[in-house]
Amino acid sequence: MPLLVDGRRVRLPQSAGDLVRAHPLLEERARLLRGQSVQQVGPQGLLYVQQRELAVTSPKDGSISILGSDDATTCHIVVLRHTGNGATCLTHCDGTDTKAEVPLIMNSIKSFSDHAQCGRLEVHLVGGFSDERQLSQKLTHQLLSEFDRQEDDIHLVTLCVTELNDREDNENHFPVIYGIAVNIKTAEIYRASFQDRGPEEELRAARALTGGPMISIYDAKTEQLRIGPYSWMPFPHVDFWLQQDDKEILENLSTSPLAEPPHFVEHIRSTLMFLKKYPSPTNTLFPGNKALLYKKNEDGLWEKISSLGS
């Protein structure tokens, strides 16, 4: 079944710009989202989603009230929500394997058994900009095409991607919005940034940098964040990269060097240091090859729990 906007079938392929021009409501929603000020989201009740991660939960969740992600330059943040049961998935897509990722996103919502009740599936796409290599444009097209290929009707509610999320400064292009959050209880989506990207921020970033595929990190039934066990090959030339200056790292390890947030190089360096320290993580980071489990404590912060029985 098709991708729909305002109840009408979307005609693909179209650029994001053409699509919103054909559907003024989409254009208005994108304008309103761009115009918001960025909210700093604290760690209480937050589940932060990194690149190539997916998290899904519903309003029944006693631990998580907000899903969020940021630092998207050419990446897109996708929110899929079922209006009937409120099941909400947020993921941070980088275009590695969109064909495999969209069915994962769909199935994560369908795993909530009361999916068949009345309501509809709504999708929100945010991120990217008019980058020189047109990676954003390619990812926008992939996501729209793959959602259009799914069996279910999917209503496109927010489209603030690529040229719709672009600003120009001294002839250089930048994203307007780098991050968003979604409130699970109210369904509100808003511009956001996050100080706390844990738990295990470096471990999760290392998995993405070494080419790990999209994975689900949260079990809404047990309200536990589940990390690993992961494995990766030693990162090639890690010592070489650690010796490079900021400019070299930015130019070679970013898809969009000019548009990265200020902490990008520091983040990459710390991830490379982590990979140097743990060239093969299976036994060192995951004793007994068991997952690391985290749960929110009474203060709404992540706390490691014993991984027995995992």
> Which residues have CB under 8 Å from 281's CB, separation 6+?
203, 206, 228, 229, 230, 231, 232
Supply the pLDDT for residue 309.
46
Sheet arrangement for strand 154-161: 8-9, 3-5, 154-161, 121-127, 76-82, 88-93, 53-57, 215-216
Query: Scanning the structure block, which residue is given the tokens 């030693």?
Result: 234
Provide, rounded to the nearest whole percent, the portion of the chain with pLDDT above 70: 96
Strands 8-9 and 3-5: antiparallel
Which amino acid is located at 199 in the chain? P
Which amino acid is located at 42 in the chain? G
pLDDT for residue 308 is more than 60: no
What count of residues does the chain have?
310
Dihedral sign of CA atoms 144, 146, 147, 148 in order: positive
pLDDT for residue 310 is more than 80: no
The Cα 299–Cα 122 span in angstroms is 32
pTM: 0.95
Phi-psi group of 285: left, alpha or beta (phi > 0 → left; psi -120 to 50 → alpha; rest → beta)? alpha
Supply the pLDDT for residue 149.
94
Tell me: the pLDDT tens digits for 119-173? 999 999 999 999 999 999 999 999 999 999 999 999 999 999 999 999 999 899 9
Letter string b/e over residues 85-94, b meaning 16 or more CB atoms within 10 A of that residue's CB: bbbbbbbbbb
Dihedral angle, C-alpha 207, 41, 293, 63, nearest 10 °: -150
Tell me: the pLDDT tens digits for 60-105? 999 999 999 999 999 999 999 999 999 999 999 999 999 999 999 9
pLDDT for residue 199 is more than 70: yes
